[in-house]
Every structure is written in structure tokens, then in C-alpha cells.
């Protein structure tokens, strides 16, 4: 997504945001849906900074999920 944004390909960014908005809740992550909707909306408005902020938020959220998931796996393995 950042690569597309860096190329000013806001159409691709909006499409990817739309896909996230539609599928996040389906997989139990309504926060991803909300962030995806923000990315889509800002990209459609040609707000490159807003889209970047949304992508950074998504990356931070996913990093937290991965960290929590890794901790859960370690706890599960040690029990």
C-alpha cells in the first residue's frame, strides 16, 4: 500500500482500503474495517497524508496483533 501511495496511485490505495473495510469484520477485526474505510475515503479524496496516516495506523495495529499472537503462542507452548 505504501508503495502505491509513494507512486501517487491513489486508485490502488482506495481499492485496497475498500477491501480491508469489507473484510476486516468478517475475520473478527472491526478495527481493520474502520481503518480500511478511512484509507479508502482519504485516498478517494486525494488526501495523500490522510491515507498515509491510515496506513501507518494499520501497520501499528497489525504489529500489535502479531506481537499479541506471538506471546499467546509462547504461553500456549509452555503450558
**Rounded-to-integer distance, Cα 18 and Cα 21, Å:** 5
- Cα separation of 10 and 46, whole Å? 7
Alpha carbons 66 and 61: distance in angstroms, whole number:
9
Q: Return the sign of the alpha-carbon dihedral for residues 50, 40, 55, 48.
A: negative
Q: Does the model's pTM come out above 0.75?
A: yes
pLDDT tens-digit map of 34-72: 999 999 999 999 999 999 999 999 999 999 887 876 655
Amino acid at each position: 500500500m505504501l508503495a502505491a501511495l509513494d507512486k501517487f496511485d491513489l486508485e490502488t490505495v482506495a481499492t485496497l482500503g475498500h477491501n480491508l473495510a469489507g473484510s476486516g469484520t468478517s475475520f473478527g477485526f472491526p478495527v481493520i474495517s474502520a481503518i480500511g474505510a478511512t484509507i479508502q475515503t482519504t485516498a478517494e479524496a486525494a488526501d495523500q497524508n490522510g491515507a498515509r496516516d491510515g496506513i501507518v495506523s494499520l501497520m501499528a495495529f497489525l504489529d500489535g496483533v502479531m506481537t499479541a499472537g506471538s506471546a499467546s503462542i509462547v504461553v500456549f507452548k509452555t503450558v
